[in-house]
Amino acid sequence: MTPIKNAPRIMMRQLHEIMASADDAEERLNRVVQLVASNMVAEVCSAYFIRGDDILELFATEGLKSEAVHQTRLHVGEGLVGLVAATGSSLNLSNAQDHPKFAYRPETGEEIYKSMMAVPILRMGKVVGVLVVQNQASRHYSEEEEEALQTIAMVLAELVVSGDLITAHDQNDEDSEHGVISRYEGMVFAEGLAEGVVVMHEPKVEVTQHLSEDYERQLKRLDKGFRNLLRQIDEIMSAEDILHHGEHREILDVYKLFAQDKGWRLKIETAIESGLTAEAAVEKIQIENRSKMMKTEDPYLRERLSDLDDLANRLIRHLMGKVGTAATKTLPENAVVVSNNMGPAELLEYDRDKLKAVVLQEGSPTSHVAIVARALGIPMIGQLKGNLLEVDEGVSIIVQGLEGEIFIDPPPEIIETYRDTISARAKLLARYDNMRDKPVVTKDGVEIELVVNGGLEMDIEGMHRTGAKGVGLFRTEFQFMISKTLPRIHPQAEFYKSIIDAADGKPVTFRTLDIGGDKEVSFLKRDNEENPALGWRAIRIALDRPALLRYQLRALITAAAGTTLNVMFPMITNVSEFKLARSILDKELERHKKNNRPLPKDIKVGTMLEVPSLVWQLDDLLPLVDFISIGSNDLMQFFYASDRENPKLSNRYDILSPPSLNMLRFIVDKCAAANVPLTLCGEIGGRTIGALALIAIGFRRLSIAPSAVGPVKMMIRSLNLSELVPYVDQLLSRSDHSIRSDLKAFAHDHGVKI
Ligand code: PEP
Ligand code: MG
């Protein structure tokens, strides 16, 4: 088989002639499969296209029996061709019949062909067909051959665009039969409520011209396209509000680095030289990148895929003179932007007064765009069940970003319920605001300290807004998760200082890096672990890679010069780990002193308590620490051997039950006896019923999400603790699975606002 690489231009020219000819679509398709078969020295070349929702039909073949054309049909997912259509990934097999998915169709006569290569025919990222070559001999097709077939498949998508081969109706059976559904569920990425009209983020730009013989002109167009793209990114980056937000800025720096990647550009240029237009070359390389990145297990890389998609689409729009997402058009006053996914830069381009919410078909709650949405207070729902991309622009939409519901063209009852939710929420939020300066004290005078959990600059605003007394847990890993490279000491120190300054004298407890488990960072390669939550994470990584911890501690010491540095370590499992971490801190302090650098006025060093083994070492641990903070999210997943991320287990064991509450009470008593301040910073403290139980067993300091401060404070101010304590005492001597309903009954009977 002659690799196309050796004669790419000739073949591309022939392809160009065929596609530009006056023949009808089916005839052009027949000529293309003949061309491919002869140029690639394949005995068979066949093209399948999707009809209706999931039927793949053989439309043309060179080599298989001609009677099979329009007769052979497969479901998407059926056989090898169906597998390519279902996954959108190519197959390259030297012995296709050995593949478990191989399905033999007698009418085609394909039983004599051993080797097979099949690539998806993609139109705007969606599979519309499959292009296949086969040979009798068992052979492996080279990477160049695979790339060449992909290019041809891309050009074939033009036949679908024109609608001559398959009518729009044929492609879209399902909609016409069932109509568009009007309620969707998804995951809340950023909380909030919004009502508005659908605006499609990307007014669809379709590459219509794939082939060009004038590659020099195409290279010039590409060069101009890149210049425009970089100028556009610079413009976004110099926008006023971004300059002042370190976090956004870093995200965009990464984005710009991608745009300047030489390898990416070189691949596009090579594709142009093979005979593609500049826009088709960008599309081709993006298809390849997508297919490679979709195969990776690495969540960080998968998330970066949306950045790359975003850049490629942007470049294509520049090349086709269709610059700008919906952000650059005149938006309606109440725009709810719908997109498959979105890059952070694209979100930042929208007029924040008009953008009411964002709905992403895919996306991930830890992606950059979700982090930015939370920072900007824009409600965002993602990972939808059902395809929202098929709805029409301009229809009305409700985004219920508390439970994660979306309504399209909602009937009056839904609108009414939604408006009730909004006004109830607004009233409630106003009541919480009014309580801002009221003391957090029970009716019988017991004071409780509420502090917040954070990891972003905006959480400090949340602390001030709610009147919380400080930050009980600052998750420093967020900074690392949005960074492509290891953040250097100076920017780290600047960021921590900005947090300390913003807190305006209120204490901030920094937790050193808690990466690993579900929190991935790009600069640290980790093995695939069987049980990542029980694996190489947090302090375990820090002690094995002490430079990481040392630099972070150095940055924290620098940032806290002249004030109190509160620092704690995550996932400490035995006392020796704490001692080791503490000694690294002491060494850094020594170094600082020796270099005559300004030191913190005071240093408080504590530990997270989130591994059960540490509970049984408290007698040894407590004399060494200045404070303890219980990470109940992790502590309970280990206590109950129940994965905190697994939705199937979320209701199986209740933290509000005698075994867990008795253990927590044991810790409270130990800390009280040793006079060591204790905080709990897990999610349970932010739920009113959870806080009720925790206060009953002796907790006096809770670190919770800023949005939880209002409700928890309201509960505390309505509680008479002396009535609750004996009630909970007797519940904890029982062996119940949960005491949640007993607590609710108590609250109900005693007017406690939960
Ligand atoms: C915890 O485990 O309870 C905790 C606060 O830490 P994280 O949720 O960040 O693991
Ligand atoms: Mg934890």
In terms of domains, do 154 and 14 share one? Answer: yes
Query: Alpha helices, DSSP H only, in 435-538?
Result: 457-466, 477-481, 489-503
Ligand 1 nearest-atom number relative to CA 475 = 9
Torsion of CA 97, 98, 102, 108, to 10 degrees: 0
| Residue recorded with tokens 């059976």 | 173
In terms of domains, do 192 and 279 share one? Answer: no
Ligand 1 nearest-atom number relative to CA 632 = 3
Burial (CB count <10 Å: 0-12, 13-18, 19+), residue 240: exposed
Cα(692) to centroid(ligand 2), Å: 22
319, 344, 360 - which closes a domain: 319
Q: Does the Cβ of 500 fall within 6 Å of ligand 1?
A: no
The residues, any chain, with a CB within 8 Å of residue 62's CB and separated by 6 or more, are: 30, 33, 34, 36, 37, 44, 45, 46
Q: Does the Cβ of 455 fall within 6 Å of ligand 1?
A: no
pLDDT of residue 250: 64
**pLDDT tens digits, one per residue of 134-160:** 999 998 898 888 888 988 998 898 887
The residues, any chain, with a CB within 8 Å of residue 373's CB and separated by 6 or more, are: 189, 190, 347, 358, 379, 380
In terms of domains, do 343 and 313 share one? Answer: no
Q: Does the Cβ of 681 fall within 6 Å of ligand 1?
A: yes
**pLDDT tens digits, one per residue of 327-353:** 888 899 999 999 988 876 678 789 989
Q: What is the mean pLDDT of the chain?
A: 87
Find the mean pLDDT for residues 47-57: 87
Q: Does the Cβ of 633 fall within 6 Å of ligand 1?
A: yes
Residue 484 lies in a domain: yes
Ligand 1 nearest-atom number relative to CA 630 = 3
Residue 661 lies in a domain: no
pLDDT of residue 172: 44
Ligand 1 nearest-atom number relative to CA 703 = 5
Cα(378) to centroid(ligand 1), Å: 25
Nearest CA to ligand 1 atom 6: 631
pLDDT of residue 374: 75
Pocket test for ligand 1, best of 474, 513, 608 (most atoms within 8 A of CB): 608
Checking if the pLDDT of 714 tops 70, the result is yes
Q: Does the Cβ of 632 fall within 6 Å of ligand 1?
A: yes
Find the mean pLDDT for residues 371-397: 84
In terms of domains, do 26 and 96 share one? Answer: yes
Q: Can you tell me the distance from the alpha carbon of 753 to that of 715, in angstroms, rounded to the nearest whole number? A: 5
Q: Can you tell me the distance from the alpha carbon of 425 to that of 428, in angstroms, rounded to the nearest whole number? A: 5
Cα(477) to centroid(ligand 2), Å: 12
pLDDT of residue 455: 83
Percentage, residues of the chain above pLDDT 90: 55
More confident residue, 246 or 454: 454
**pLDDT tens digits, one per residue of 21-44:** 888 889 999 999 999 999 888 999
Q: Does the Cβ of 642 fall within 6 Å of ligand 1?
A: no
In terms of domains, do 306 and 380 share one? Answer: no
Pocket test for ligand 1, best of 366, 681, 684, 687 (most atoms within 8 A of CB): 681
Checking if the pLDDT of 242 tops 70, the result is no
302, 319, 336 - which closes a domain: 319
Residue 90 lies in a domain: yes
631, 647, 663 - which closes a domain: 631
Q: How far apart are the first and last CA of the chain?
A: 73
pLDDT of residue 444: 97
In terms of domains, do 254 and 378 share one? Answer: no
Checking if the pLDDT of 101 tops 80, the result is yes
| Residue recorded with tokens 């830890």 | 366
pLDDT of residue 238: 66
For residue 108, which amino acid is it?
T
Q: Does the Cβ of 634 fall within 6 Å of ligand 1?
A: yes
Torsions phi, psi for 113 (to 5 deg): -100, 120
Nearest CA to ligand 1 atom 9: 475
For β-strands 449-454 and 471-475, DSSP reports them as parallel
Residue 128 lies in a domain: yes
Find the mean pLDDT for residues 444-460: 91
Torsion of CA 517, 521, 523, 528, to 10 degrees: 30
Point out the least confidently predicted range of 115-129, 367-381, 432-446, 499-513: 367-381
pLDDT of residue 140: 87
3-state secondary structure of 42: coil
In terms of domains, do 186 and 80 share one? Answer: no
Contact 153, 65 (CB under 8 A): no
pLDDT of residue 733: 95
In terms of domains, do 257 and 372 share one? Answer: no
Pocket test for ligand 1, best of 610, 632, 637, 694 (most atoms within 8 A of CB): 610
pLDDT of residue 116: 95
What is the reported pTM?
Answer: 0.59
In terms of domains, do 155 and 197 share one? Answer: no
Pocket test for ligand 1, best of 471, 514, 534 (most atoms within 8 A of CB): 514
In terms of domains, do 362 and 421 share one? Answer: yes
pLDDT of residue 111: 82
Torsions phi, psi for 385 (to 5 deg): -90, 125
Residue 693 lies in a domain: no
3-state secondary structure of 433: helix
Q: Nearest bound ligand to CA 679?
A: 1
Ligand 1 nearest-atom number relative to CA 610 = 2
Q: How many CA atoms lie within 13 A of 321 on its CB side?
A: 1
Residue-number span of the structural domain to which 333 is assigned: 182-202+325-427
Range among 104-108, 371-375, 432-436, 607-611 rated most confident = 607-611
pLDDT of residue 27: 92
In terms of domains, do 420 and 396 share one? Answer: yes
Residue 329 sits in a domain of what CATH number?
A: 3.50.30.10
Residue 292 lies in a domain: yes
Nearest CA to ligand 1 atom 3: 631
For β-strands 115-123 and 126-135, DSSP reports them as antiparallel
Checking if the pLDDT of 422 tops 80, the result is yes
In terms of domains, do 257 and 306 share one? Answer: yes
Residue 47 sits in a domain of what CATH number?
A: 3.30.450.40
Checking if the pLDDT of 240 tops 50, the result is no
Residue 233 sits in a domain of what CATH number?
A: 1.10.274.10
Residue 749 lies in a domain: no
The total of structural domains in the chain comes to 4
Q: Can you tell me the distance from the alpha carbon of 186 to that of 166, in angstroms, rounded to the nearest whole number? A: 33
Q: Does the Cβ of 533 fall within 6 Å of ligand 1?
A: no
pLDDT band, residue 118 (cuts 50/70/90): very high
What is the SS3 assignment for 333-387? CCEEEEECCCCHHHHHCCCCCCEEEEEECCCCCCCHHHHHHHHHCCCEEEEEECC
Q: How many residues does the chain have?
A: 754
Q: What is the DSSP letter of 641?
A: T
Nearest CA to ligand 1 atom 4: 631
Q: Can you tell me the distance from the alpha carbon of 191 to that of 404, in angstroms, rounded to the nearest whole number? A: 9
pLDDT of residue 203: 67
Residue 262 lies in a domain: yes
Residue 569 sits in a domain of what CATH number?
A: 3.20.20.60
Tokens of 472: 């009980």
Q: Can you tell me the distance from the alpha carbon of 338 to that of 629, in angstroms, rounded to the nearest whole number? A: 41
What is the SS3 assignment for 133-175? EEECCCCCCCHHHHHHHHHHHHHHHHHHHHCCCCCHHHHCHHH
